[in-house]
């Protein structure tokens, strides 16, 4: 049998260099100049190797791979620093007064997209009674803050230097504060591109992006009811791997695993009914296990995004988000809305969120609608002071939250049901409330197919073998509308147990003395444990059988492949005592003062 042309074609490696030429063939001897030129040539199975340098372009791959084995791989050359920016260097600044300079650019400089006339807007967005644009000004790669009015920029610069832009029919004028700096002699850049790596159309599947530093994107607001464009994003596709990248300075979102765009974008009128219609249209548009999701986002550093580090509405199903460091998200808080978090996922169906380090965000992880088959495990969250480490909103479960370190002032806001919480360390407040006004979907097992819609009565949760330190506590669940199962939890320093738990272990005088310290090789946790916790009545191992079935979908808490859970390893992957596992995330039956390196952590195979 004669092989087809596609089968007979040998995979190629295309090389890109800042000293290359886009008329070249992309060989190692004749490298291309731009990543985009290589993208136009690459076919399934090919590799694009980008060599050291700064590339200022928007990569919009015209095609992807055909399977997990026949991908198109974009990679930084091993050992070389490759930076891709959505900004351009700007010269020609003129001194105005005080610390203020200005530059005037012809509008044609921006082509068909001008971030300085592009307002941030959309569903569930609150501008706080002023205008915000997707543009930005950077000094030495760090952004200045957009002012509400020109007069603010004309004053002497404060701790946070400002910029202001004005666009007329022919010219874009930008005023900016540069304290003690001549901007014509420094590196001053401005946003000019909406994204850095994002396909123009949906369905560009099986792409790997590895090892880049990517920054400076004029990204729009990304609500769940509109196309979600990130600095890098998958645009309604399947099978991407985004790994080992440094992703920072995106006006709204760093990584999007989200929805396609259509004529109904931003027309939901901020209603649950509007999002239900979005889901119905998505199902008609191919939202299924076969077509969408299955992405891997791992080992990236994501920072300085004013909406979210990672966002995904419907498109993050069956995906894995692991090993990422996410920080400085929505810290300026010039605007607000309902979509800000380190990780914000709508429909985290069979999605794994594991081993991430999330800090200095307004909210750590937000699972909003349709978290079913979701697992949140072995994450380190701290210093998330705006809201909570974890917010679960209007989900019916089943979902599993285990072996996490929740160390911020508020650990959990529970507006869901059908959740299982096991072996977590919770040192912040726990709040819960029902949501009777909204009816939200639940699904057939391991599927996007909607099985029904119900409101959230609250309860139907399980708490096993957690370590709770005041102000954490479970007494709030005494008023839950549905049965709550509890056992094996330990309550310290005044943490309140729930009446649902028989014979809880309560030690109001025990202070574990938690301290978190960053050292050159990682983050360390100091904590005192009590060996007596291992000597009392045995705690059963947490398994799928013990967790039972979530009431509304009537489904067990099981792994995406349908196999049962057995929580027989701790935060570090250490084997637990199956006859009576130690409470909390660490299997340390000897107790005593512990100094534990909690980031980074390598889990044994």
pLDDT tens for 117-155 read 999 999 999 999 999 999 999 999 999 999 999 999 999
Sign of CA dihedral 523, 527, 533, 534: positive
Structural domain contains residue 591: no
Are residues 76 and 95 located together in one domain of the fold? Answer: no
Question: Are the C-beta atoms of 278 and 265 separated by less than 8 Å?
Answer: no
Q: Are 82 and 52 in contact (CB under 8 A)?
A: yes
**Encoded tokens for 412:** 């959990």
Instruction: Report the run of H or E that residue 7 belongs to, with start and end.
Output: helix 5-8
Domain membership flag for residue 436: yes
Residue 90's nearest CA partner among 45, 25, 49, 135 is: 135
Question: What is the domain-level CATH number for residue 168?
Answer: 2.60.40.1180
**For residue 4, what pLDDT is reported?**
52
In a domain, 225, yes or no: yes
At 464, give phi and psi (nearest 5°): -130, 130
Cis peptide preceding 349, ω within 30 of 0: no
Q: Mark whether 326 and 385 lie in a shared domain.
A: yes
For residues 366 and 388, membership in a common domain is answered with yes
> Looking at the domain assignment, is residue 165 inside a domain?
yes
pLDDT in tens, 228-250: 999 999 999 999 999 999 999 99
- In terms of pLDDT, which residue wins out, 264 or 2? 264
Mean pLDDT, residues 22-30: 98
Task: Check residue 9 and give its pLDDT.
Answer: 81
Q: How confident is the model at residue 386 (pLDDT cuts 50, 70, 90)?
A: confident
pLDDT of residue 8: 66
| pLDDT tens, position by position, 548-567 | 999 999 999 999 999 999 99
Of the candidates 577, 572, 582, the one whose C-alpha atom is nearest the C-alpha of residue 405 is 572
Cα angle value 240/343/462 (rounded, 5°): 110
DSSP string, 224-270: TTS----SEE--S-B--EEES-EEEEESSEEEE--PPP-TTTT-STT
CB 151 within 8 A of CB 98: no
Question: pLDDT digits over 36-87, tens only?
Answer: 999 999 999 999 999 999 999 999 999 999 999 999 999 999 999 999 999 9
Span 203-219, mean pLDDT? 98
Q: Are residues 386 and 288 in the same domain?
A: yes
Query: 26 near 32, Cβ under 8 Å?
Result: yes
Q: What are φ and ψ of residue 150, in 5° steps?
A: -60, -40
Q: Sheet containing 171-177: give its strands across.
A: 94-97, 100-106, 171-177, 162-167, 145-146
- Does 403 lie in the same domain as 342? yes
Does pLDDT of 3 surpass 60? no
Task: Supply the mean pLDDT for the chain.
Answer: 96
Dist. CA 413–CA 165, nearest whole Å: 39
Structural domain for 241, as ranges? 207-511+539-585
* 238, burial (CB in 10 Å: exposed 0-12, middle 13-18, buried 19+): buried
pLDDT-derived band at 2 (thresholds 50, 70, 90) equals very low
- Cα–Cα dist 582/297, whole Å: 31
520 within domain boundaries? no
Q: Is the pLDDT of residue 352 over 50?
A: yes
338/453 same-domain check: yes
The residue among 36, 54, 83 that closes a domain is 83
44 and 110 belong to one structural domain: no
Task: Please measure the distance between the N-terminal and C-terminal CA atoms of the chain and give it in whole angstroms.
Answer: 42
Residue holding tokens 């695993």? 257
Q: With respect to residue 527, please indicate whether it lies within any of the assigned structural domains.
A: no
Across the range 570-595, mean pLDDT stands at 97
**Digit-coded pLDDT (tens) for 297-318:** 999 999 999 999 999 999 999 9
Domain total for the chain?
3
Examine residue 428 and state whether it is found in any structural domain, yes or no: yes
> Is the same domain home to 97 and 78?
no
Same domain, 79 and 93: no
Is the same domain home to 342 and 217? yes
Q: Do residues 224 and 168 share a domain?
A: no
Closest CA to 261 of 277, 278, 273: 278
| Euclidean distance between CA atoms 601 and 378, whole angstroms | 9
Residue found under tokens 């300075």? 249
**Dihedral sign (CA 364, 306, 314, 85):** negative
Residue 420 is part of a domain; what is its CATH number? 2.160.20.10
Given this model, what pLDDT does residue 604 score?
A: 79
Whether this prediction's pTM lies above 0.95 is answered by: yes
Which of left, alpha, beta for 493 (phi over 0: left; psi -120 to 50: alpha)? left
**So what's the pLDDT on residue 1?**
43
- Nearest Cα to 368, choosing from 325, 413, 301, 309? 413
Residues 436 and 475 in one domain: yes
The residue out of 167, 191, 215 marking a domain boundary is: 191
The four Cα atoms 366, 331, 334, 341 give a dihedral, to 10 degrees, of -10
* CA–CA separation, 234 and 461 (whole Å): 34
Q: What DSSP character marks residue 153? A: H
- Residue that terminates a domain, selected from 37, 67, 83: 83
Residue 358 · residue 379 · CB < 8 Å:
yes
Q: Is 578 a domain residue?
A: yes
Per-residue DSSP letter, 479? G
CA dist 233 and 194 (Å) reads 11
Q: How does DSSP assign 271-284, residue by residue?
A: -HHHHHHHHHHHHH
Chain centroid to Cα 264, Å, comes to 25
pLDDT at 5 over 60: no
The total of other beta-carbon atoms located within 10 Å of residue 509's CB is: 7
């Amino acid at each position: 049998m004669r092989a087809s042309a596609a089968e007979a074609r040998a995979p190629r490696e295309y090389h890109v260099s800042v000293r290359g030429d886009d008329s070249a063939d992309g060989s190692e001897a004749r490298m291309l100049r731009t990543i985009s030129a290589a993208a136009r040539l690459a076919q399934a199975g090919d590799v694009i190797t980008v060599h050291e340098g700064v590339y200022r372009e928007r990569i919009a791959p015209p095609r992807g791979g055909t399977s997990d084995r026949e991908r198109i791989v974009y990679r930084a050359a091993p050992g070389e620093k490759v930076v891709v920016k959505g900004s351009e260097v700007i010269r020609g600044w003129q001194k105005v007064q005080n610390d203020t300079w200005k530059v005037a650019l012809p509008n044609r400089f921006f082509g068909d997209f001008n971030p300085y006339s592009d307002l941030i807007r959309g569903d569930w967005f609150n501008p706080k009674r002023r205008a915000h644009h997707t543009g930005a000004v950077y000094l030495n790669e760090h952004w200045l803050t957009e002012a509400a009015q020109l007069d603010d920029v004309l004053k002497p610069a404060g701790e946070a230097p400002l910029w202001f832009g004005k666009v007329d029919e022919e010219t874009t004028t930008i005023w900016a504060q540069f304290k003690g700096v001549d901007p014509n002699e420094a590196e001053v850049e401005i946003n000019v591109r909406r994204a850095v790596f994002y396909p123009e159309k949906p369905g560009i599947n099986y792409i790997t992006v590895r090892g880049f530093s990517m920054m400076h994107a004029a990204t729009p607001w990304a609500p769940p009811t509109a196309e979600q464009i990130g600095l890098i994003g998958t645009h309604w596709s399947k099978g991407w791997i985004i790994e080992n990248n440094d992703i920072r300075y995106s006006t709204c979102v760093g990584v999007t695993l989200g929805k396609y765009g259509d004529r109904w974008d931003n027309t939901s009128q901020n209603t649950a009914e509007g999002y239900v219609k979005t889901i119905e249209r998505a199902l008609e548009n191919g939202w299924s296990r076969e077509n969408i999701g299955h992405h891997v986002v791992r080992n990236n550093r994501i920072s300085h995004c004013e909406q979210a580090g990672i966002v995904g509405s419907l498109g993050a199903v069956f995906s894995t988000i692991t090993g990422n460091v996410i920080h400085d998200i929505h810290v300026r808080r010039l605007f607000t809305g309902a979509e800000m978090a380190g990780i914000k996922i709508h429909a985290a169906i069979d999605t794994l969120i594991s081993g991430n380090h999330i800090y200095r965000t307004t909210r750590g992880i937000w699972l909003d609608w349709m978290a079913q088959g979701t697992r949140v495990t072995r994450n380190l969250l701290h210093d998330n002071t705006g809201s909570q480490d974890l917010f679960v909103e209007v989900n019916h479960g089943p979902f599993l939250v285990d072996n996490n370190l929740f160390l911020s002032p508020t650990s959990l806001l529970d507006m869901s049901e059908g959740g299982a919480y096991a072996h977590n360390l919770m040192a912040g407040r726990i709040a819960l409330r029902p949501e009777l006004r909204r009816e939200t979907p639940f699904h057939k097992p391991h599927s996007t197919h909607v099985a029904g819609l119900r409101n959230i009565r609250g309860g139907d949760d399980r708490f096993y073998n957690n370590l709770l330190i005041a102000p954490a506590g479970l007494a709030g669940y005494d008023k839950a509308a549905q049965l709550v199962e509890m056992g094996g939890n330990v309550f310290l320093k005044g943490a309140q147990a729930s009446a649902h738990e028989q014979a809880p272990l309560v030690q109001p005088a025990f202070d574990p003395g938690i301290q978190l310290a960053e050292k050159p090789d990682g983050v360390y946790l100091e904590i005192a444990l009590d060996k007596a916790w291992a000597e009392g009545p045995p705690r059963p191992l947490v398994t799928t059988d013990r967790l039972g079935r979530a009431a509304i979908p009537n489904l067990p808490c099981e792994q995406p492949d349908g196999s049962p859970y057995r929580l027989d390893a701790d935060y570090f992957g250490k084997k637990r005592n199956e006859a009576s596992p130690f409470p909390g995330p660490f299997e340390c039956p000897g107790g005593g003062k512990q100094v534990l390196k909690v980031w980074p952590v390598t889990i044994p195979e």
